[in-house]
Amino acid sequence: MNGVKTALLLGLMSGLLILGGRVVAGQRGMTIALFIAVGMNFFSYFFSEKIALTSSGAIRVSETENPQIFWRLSPIVKMLCDRMGLPMPRLWVIDQDEPNAFATGRNPSHASVAVTRGLLQSMNDAEIEGVLAHELGHVKNRDILTSSVAATIASAITWAAQMAFFFGGSRDDDDDRGNPIAAIAMMLLAPIAAGLIQMAISRTREFSADAASAQYTGDPGKLISALRKLEAGSRQIPMDVSPSMSHMYIIKPFSGASMSRLFSTHPSTEERIARLESLRRK
């Protein structure tokens, strides 16, 4: 099912890019955008993990790089991977005060899990286990590719929309001239459309990863406690994150106004906790 979602995501977002090419430069622009979309799909599949880690400012964690963090995280991750039947992912730390985390990669054999310094400082080992199990749930469910590709192409669509605004309608050839009104519409609507696609895909996968955390830690309370701290942190400590990457994190990494939460890529924390509470009662 996640393979179908990925294909649908690529198709819809590629269509937006091609439409942007048509707005900017007519038929020729559409043809060029088609080739760009094909190249971007290839690039997104193989390099979206690296783009996500670079964009977040993630720093590698290993026995030689940030060893103190490695020896705190690796035993927990190794235990969970053994339970889930997963290979050990690469570990990363993000120098941000807000507690948060995300997983990325194209499959379980090429996966990375990143946590913020704020998460390490504010949570005990049981809560960290709940968060890591959630992220490894994304890896096991094979939806990390979907989220990584979404982040890459959403950024490209935003860029294409800006190009449509600045260059739409500027060609001298009447047959290939873009429509300036359409260019303005492209600038306004394309990023919204990309965000809605991300939102539709992301909400259901968060519930699935939460359920995986409850199953493989054996205690939904670990993630429940972590989610409460994550929610409080997101409201109190702003996090510098590209909007195209916000759906990848375990919780929406913004402390902005309530209006932004209407278009959140995440279900409400209260609903997630309620579902976990129901699992604990079973």
pLDDT per residue as tens digits for the range 142-153 = 877 776 666 666
Does residue 154 lie within any of the structural domains? no
How many Å apart are CA 17 and CA 37, to the nearest integer?
7
Does residue 265 lie within any of the structural domains? yes
Residue ranges making up the domain that contains 84: 47-145+184-281
Both structure tokens of 228: 């409460």
Does residue 242 lie within any of the structural domains? yes
**Rounded alpha-carbon distances, angstroms, from residue 2 to 7, 111, 200, 203, 204:** 9, 16, 13, 13, 11
How many Å apart are CA 40 and CA 155, to the nearest integer?
11
The pTM score is 0.77
Q: What is the mean pLDDT of residues 128-134?
A: 98
pLDDT per residue as tens digits for the range 11-22 = 776 776 677 666
Among 97, 127, 148, 123, which Cα is nearest to 255's?
Answer: 97
Does residue 204 lie within any of the structural domains? yes
Q: Which residue has the tokens 């030689």?
A: 64
Give the chain's domain count: 1
Does residue 3 lie within any of the structural domains? no
Does residue 247 lie within any of the structural domains? yes
Q: Write down the catalytic residue from 49, 129, 135, 231.
A: 135
> What's the chain's average pLDDT?
80
110 contacts 150 by C-beta, under 8 angstroms? no
Does residue 134 lie within any of the structural domains? yes
Q: Which residue has the tokens 């902005």?
A: 256
Q: Which residue has the tokens 């490695």?
A: 70
Residue 65 annotated as catalytic: no
- CATH of residue 274's domain is 3.30.2010.10
Does residue 161 lie within any of the structural domains? no
How many Å apart are CA 72 and CA 120, to the nearest integer?
9
Q: What is the mean pLDDT of residues 135-163?
A: 73
